[in-house]
């Protein structure tokens, strides 16, 4: 009798354990499904957000901030005869004044576009890249430079200030009429 009781209680406990194990397996599976859903939700959300941001980006054009090409540099009286280098770094120009003209040289070597240096002791512009040399008015006389340094547009505004525009350049190409006498390539002083 007591053997039967013991066997019955062992069976009941085994059934309980099996039920418990099935229950816990079910819970594990639910957890896995829930975390899988969360992952899918996150991925979908990220994908949609990225697409939405790209869509918004379409309405905002890219802006490239380039240095201004038109700017005042002062009064003609601020520039004595010779080469003035004060705007070389900030505007990439030199201001040259002769006895009767003031003009602005664009500081870009006509060989491959390096910025030459003004050598006061040698009275010349010297390009550090391949050795082109230019006289104080920017005319090439040594090295591979094919033509004189270009000159930028200049004018005097109603306040008497010199306005430079480096988007308009004057050239002196070999075999072509010079542009260095064109209107806007110099100021009479």
Which positions touch ligand FES (CB under 6 A)?
109, 111-112, 114, 127, 129-132, 143-145
- Give 102 or 140: the residue with its C-beta nearer to ligand FES: 140
Give the shortest CB-56-to-ligand FES separation in angstroms. Answer: 44
- Give 116 or 153: the residue with its C-beta nearer to ligand FES: 116
Beta-strand ranges (E) seen in 31-174 are 70-74, 82-84, 93-97, 101-106, 117-119, 124-126, 133-134, 140-142, 151-156, 162-170
> Which residues contact residue 7 at a Cβ distance below 8 angstroms, ignoring those fewer than 6 apart?
none
Q: Is 28 exposed, middle or buried (0-12, 13-18, 19+ CB in 10 A)?
A: exposed
- Give 111 or 151: the residue with its C-beta nearer to ligand FES: 111
Give the shortest CB-119-to-ligand FES separation in angstroms. Answer: 14
Give the shortest CB-110-to-ligand FES separation in angstroms. Answer: 8
Question: Residue 187 belongs to what H/E stretch?
Answer: strand 187-188
Alpha carbon 160 to its chain centroid, in Å, reads 34
Q: Is 179 exposed, middle or buried (0-12, 13-18, 19+ CB in 10 A)?
A: middle
């Amino acid at each position: 009798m007591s053997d039967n009781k013991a066997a019955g209680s062992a069976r009941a406990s085994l059934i309980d354990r099996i039920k418990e194990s099935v229950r816990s397996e079910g819970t594990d599976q639910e957890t896995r499904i829930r975390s899988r859903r969360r992952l899918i939700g996150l991925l979908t959300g990220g994908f949609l957000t990225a697409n939405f941001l790209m869509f918004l980006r379409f309405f905002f054009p890219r802006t490239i901030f380039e240095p201004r090409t038109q700017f005042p540099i002062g009064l003609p009286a601020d520039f004595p005869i010779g080469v003035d280098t004060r705007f070389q770094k900030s505007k990439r120009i030199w201001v040259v004044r002769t006895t009767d003209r003031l003009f602005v040289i664009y500081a870009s070597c006509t060989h491959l576009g390096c910025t030459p240096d003004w050598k006061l002791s040698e009275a010349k512009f010297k390009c550090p890249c391949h050795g082109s040399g230019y006289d104080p008015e920017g005319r090439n006389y040594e090295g591979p430079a094919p033509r004189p340094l270009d000159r930028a547009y200049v004018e005097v505004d109603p306040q008497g200030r010199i306005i430079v525009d480096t988007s308009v350049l004057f050239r002196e190409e070999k075999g072509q009429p010079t542009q260095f006498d064109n209107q806007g390539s110099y100021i009479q002083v």
